[in-house]
Chain A
């Protein structure tokens, strides 16, 4: 016996062999899931929650949407109510955002205008993304000549400056209403999303899990519904989020130039345009709608950044 073994023996108490029994092992124990399974969306929500900036942006948007829905009622004034005794007043307890050159309450007007701006942003982005997704999906599905022709059309549409098309269509349709304006804005607005969806679909088509599904005999419709669309969804959602501020901005621009919403209806861009004329004397009239546009665009942009990181961890650097 070496000296070391002796020392070990001395340190260990005497345990008889019969104290040790074999308790066996469950072969399946290794397969049990230790934690609850989380879905893709739960996972995305967990990542999104950690992004404080995006969360703040989401809260700002929710607050703004609340005011856009209920703001005109809270103010106690109708947005088109003209009051000749209270013209161009500054913000006060009576008129929180002041009044304009016809004595209309700006608090009510700003939120009423927000309805138009937000509807255009949301509806525009949704319509464009649905049209774009279908178009891109068809191009990717058929491939070949169909794809070539369809994408060539998109390229031509994209090679014209966007605002130029919007202006042209507005002039032609003599757009004064929400509907015609949406047509003008979305007529080429879907091209970007069509490209994104087509690219993603083509990439998915060549991936192993789609090949595996094909080899297993899954029907094409099921592959599209179960594999292609869910894997493209995140890209579309992010694209919508980034598109919304774009539409709000384009609408503001159109109204500013005088091609947009007409009185008595109003939008943030129209409010800014009206305020611009008296800006030197009543800067607050431009301030409030201006802040609303900037804040909405900022929030949607930051929200889009957060969603992109949360929904597509592969893209994150």
Chain B
């Protein structure tokens, strides 16, 4: 077990290094350089100073070494090009704190509803509750989130006028985006829980439990649910890291100043250092969450450990 965890952590570090390097070098391979647009009208000397401030006058490889050194020793991802003086690490932390609120609510809400719907669908297989749940799940997966968001905005903010369309700071601003974001989670988990439960219900140990005379309620509670829930943990990694990065589109539509919103605007601004920083942050978080989930899963399920 210890060996497995150490191996996974080493792989994670290698992956992180590769992704950081790839992001950095790819972003610096763009024709022209990050500053060429902003520095185009500057006199020669000013331009040189300008480049020197950002360390862009050095060879790319040296820049990467400096970047890695700052990242590892100070946790610093550099400075925004578009907004001079703004630390990227601080910006990311600040914005992800905003993203966590609606994202976290959406995840909790989506998990609860999704699991309940999945259980209902599995227990009432091929009856109308199953069809209703599967319909919701398919809608949740196939309707793009920006359409759902607009639809919810239109119904609740424009027609019914009970919730604000956009904005941030008031509790009622969180409701719509959280509900919209939770749809994907609901759909994913409803489908996953259902198929897991059906899998488990076909196992021999369930037949044994039934043959012994265990009541249906206890079979479901103690044998089916416990075994059906375990694999659901594997999906959590992506979902949890998604909370911090926020939903690009939903944040844009509802005007939430979270990390997703900021990422999109830094792309539109071509704020290169900011793009590099956010990409590395999001990828790192994703990989870290995946690792924690995998370790937790192997701790919880002894069957995985054997393999």
Contact = CB atoms under 8 A, between A and B. Distances in A.
Given A156-B18, A168-B23, A253-B249, A161 B282 contact: yes
A164 B279 contact: yes
Interface in B235-251: 238, 241, 248-249
B286 interface: yes
B244 to A, nearest CB: 12
B29 to A, nearest CB: 7
A112 B60 CA distance: 43
Interface in B183-220: 198, 202
Contact of A172 (B27, B252, B253): B27
Interface stretch (B64-72, B82-90, B111-119, B144-152): B144-152
A297 B267 CA distance: 27
Interface string A282-293: 010010001001
Interface stretch (B135-143, B172-180, B226-234): B135-143
A160 B19 contact: yes
A266 interface: no
A286 B143 CA distance: 13
B275 interface: yes
Interface in A277-306: 279-280, 283, 286, 290, 293-294, 297-298, 301-302
B142 A256 contact: no
A268 to B, nearest CB: 9
A171 B283 contact: no
A172 B26 contact: yes
A295 B289 CA distance: 34
A156 B202 CA distance: 35
A164 B285 CA distance: 12
A168 B150 CA distance: 26
A279 B153 contact: yes
Given A279-B153, A298-B138, A256 B146 contact: yes
A169 B27 CA distance: 9
Interface string B252-290: 110000000000100110100001000100110011001
Contact of B142 (A161, A276, A286, A298): A298
A228 B114 CA distance: 39
A272 B150 CA distance: 10
Interface string B155-168: 00010000001000
A258 interface: yes
A256 B282 contact: no
B252 to A, nearest CB: 8
Interface of B is mostly: helix
B94 interface: no
A276 B144 contact: no
Contacts of A311: none
A259 interface: yes
A294 B138 contact: no
A245 B143 CA distance: 11
A301 B18 CA distance: 34
A283 B157 CA distance: 13
B267 A171 contact: yes
A301 B141 contact: yes
B36 interface: no
B144 A301 contact: no
Contacts of B165: 280
Nearest to B27: A172
B77 to A, nearest CB: 15
A167 interface: yes
A312 to B, nearest CB: 16
B283 A161 contact: yes
Interface residues of B, number: 42
Contacts of A174: 30
A156 B144 contact: no
Interface string A244-257: 01000100110011
A257 B249 contact: yes
A52 B282 CA distance: 43
B267 A259 contact: yes
A317 interface: yes
Given A280-B154, A298-B138, A172 B279 contact: no
B46 interface: no
A297 B142 contact: yes
Contact of B147 (A169, A293, A301, A302): A293
A267 to B, nearest CB: 12
A169 B283 CA distance: 15
B15 interface: yes
Interface string A77-88: 000000000000
A159 interface: yes
A167 B267 contact: yes
B15, B139, B268 — most chain A CB neighbours (10 Å): B15
B142 A245 contact: yes
A26 B142 CA distance: 60
Contacts of A279: 150, 153-154
Contacts of A156: 14-15, 18-19
A249 B147 contact: no
B267 A276 contact: no
B248 A171 contact: no
Contacts of A168: 23, 26-27, 275, 279
A249, A252, A279, A317 — most chain B CB neighbours (10 Å): A279
B134 to A, nearest CB: 10
A225 B206 CA distance: 43
Given A159-B15, A168-B26, A276-B150, 5 more contacts: A159-B290, A168-B27, A257-B248, A257-B252, A297-B143
A-B interface, 6 closest residue pairs, ranked by CB to CB distance from nearest:
A297-B142, A290-B147, A298-B142, A294-B143, A160-B283, A156-B15
